[in-house]
Chain A
């Protein structure tokens, strides 16, 4: 694992960009064969530096209009995504777990900044991806779910909530505060053993000693970070860089930027070296090797051996009801 990871780390995005462009060729061939559409979940370019100046509108300004009611419904789905459990959501996550303050907080992948960067062309699946494609991707991977159809009420509500939050934001512009702030490459290769210590000291109190999170009754209070209740192997958060960036700027809750860069890298490596539901794209190819080669040429440890076991080498899709050939 260490060799592979360190190579990816040092070369950073260049390697993954090259890797995936090369794959783009084989993708076209596959698409012509009438194969399933590939979703490579490739990240957009980094947001610009600079002061965050945008502020989304306040909920107190919402009226009783049909549009505003749809905004409220989207807000409800965003903070209590569990209401779609068993239909579209098959784990214990809510959107607001990774997008703090109900998707409003800068440097916490705020929705007002995401709205205006879609539609976006992604060379990897060679098409223009819309906002609804992107939200469907979140539900498929981060919620280990079954995406609601385009035009369906949950998707319209979420899109309307995002649209409202981006009121008066410049269109088709990457704004400061978008996404999570990118850390510099780690000084020392991220190490899950050092990360385990950070986890025990800083994270276990909320997320539990087995990453299981905590509930009160049926209500999730602290989200699971691995296991069946967590984001699956296709979610952006399973990448060590994405998780490190998120953690640095947002965790522990109430103490942003309190961990050092190295601690953020290490604890991200620790969290993301645990099992989680299978990458749903595993259903579309013949083997885990193929999933790894096609979709995991980035900063993650899917397919690599940890403690003698290869991560992702299973057909556990968590609670998602579709089996391997589903």
Chain B
């Protein structure tokens, strides 16, 4: 099967999975841009959000999968995902506006496409090891992040959002919330299962790893190109 067919399949699949949880309206990005006027104060005009280590961080939305954004908004509105500011904003949106604004942010700027080629994890790099090999020993049973979020954490379908290039403080807080149960809108409690077994150091190091991964990969690629010339 070629790549196009496969991505078509995964789109269909994501739509199917999502359709199971909520009615999927078709979003209009132009309309969504109007809706986004309420979002830009935090998530910024370019949808890139902001890392605020000392306060609440605002995640990057630009390029997140449409169905993922829509699900989060539904969950904020329904109280399935607890966040005071988002609950207020999401409850102002109707179904169509949620679909529209999700379509808008999904198409605003593509999430960085990162290399997919196999790269052996360095056993001396604890963060890379956790990301690509996991932490299974002593009954920890922590799969590698990439086993669900894809190579270099660039996301898989609508259920496993991209991690690489998301803000560090946001990733850290989300992992802590998965672990404490404060966030619990993961499909099949797959993320809670993992986060429950992560310790503080692992959370800190993996948040930093994925936040900075795109730039490190770029530097590595440039270096390889230079070496190759």
Contacts and interface: CB of A to CB of B under 8 A. Distances in A.
A102 interface: yes
B93 interface: no
Interface residues of B, number: 38
Interface stretch (A124-132, A217-225, A299-307): A217-225
Interface in B7-47: 7, 9-10, 13, 16-17
Contact of B189 (A55, A60, A83, A255): A255
Interface string A202-219: 101110111010111111
Interface in A184-214: 201-202, 204-206, 208-210, 212, 214
A17 interface: no
Interface stretch (B51-59, B74-82, B133-141, B212-220): B133-141
A152 interface: no
Interface stretch (B60-68, B101-109, B142-150, B201-209): B142-150
A215 B117 CA distance: 12
Given A254-B190, A254-B194, A221 B148 contact: yes
Given A205-B159, A216-B156, A58 B123 contact: yes
Interface stretch (A26-34, A72-80, A164-172, A289-297): A72-80
Interface residues of A, number: 40
B124 interface: yes
B188 A209 contact: no
B181 interface: no
B193 A216 contact: no
Contacts of B120: 72, 75-76
B229 interface: no
Contacts of A216: 116, 150-151, 154-156
Given A205-B159, A205-B188, A214-B156, A219 B116 contact: yes
B124 A60 contact: yes
B160 to A, nearest CB: 8
A204 B189 CA distance: 14
B12 to A, nearest CB: 8
Contacts of A214: 10, 13, 156-157
B155 to A, nearest CB: 8
Given A253-B147, A256-B141, A217 B187 contact: no
Contact of A254 (B124, B142, B150): B142
B84 interface: no
A55 B137 contact: yes
Given A101-B133, A208-B9, A252-B188, A218 B148 contact: no
Nearest to A253: B143
Contacts of B146: 221
Contacts of A253: 143, 147-148, 190
Nearest to A75: B120
A201 B147 CA distance: 19
A102 B6 contact: no
Nearest to A62: B123
A76 B118 contact: yes
B157 A219 contact: no
B6 to A, nearest CB: 5
Interface string A35-48: 00000000000000
A101 B159 CA distance: 23
Contact of B147 (A204, A210, A215, A221): A221
Interface of B: 1, 3, 6-7, 9-10, 13, 16-17, 116-118, 120, 123-124, 133-134, 136-137, 141-143, 146-148, 150-151, 154-157, 159, 187-190, 193-194
17 contacts: A59-B123, A60-B124, A75-B120, A100-B143, A104-B137, A204-B16, A204-B17, A205-B159, A205-B188, A206-B148, A208-B9, A216-B116, A217-B116, A217-B151, A219-B117, A219-B150, A256-B141
Interface of A: 55, 58-60, 62, 72, 75-76, 79-80, 82-83, 100-102, 104-105, 201-202, 204-206, 208-210, 212, 214-219, 221-222, 229, 252-256
Given A212-B9, A214-B13, A217-B3, 18 more contacts: A60-B124, A80-B118, A102-B133, A104-B137, A205-B187, A208-B10, A215-B7, A221-B146, A221-B148, A221-B151, A222-B156, A253-B143, A253-B147, A253-B148, A254-B142, A254-B190, A254-B193, A255-B193
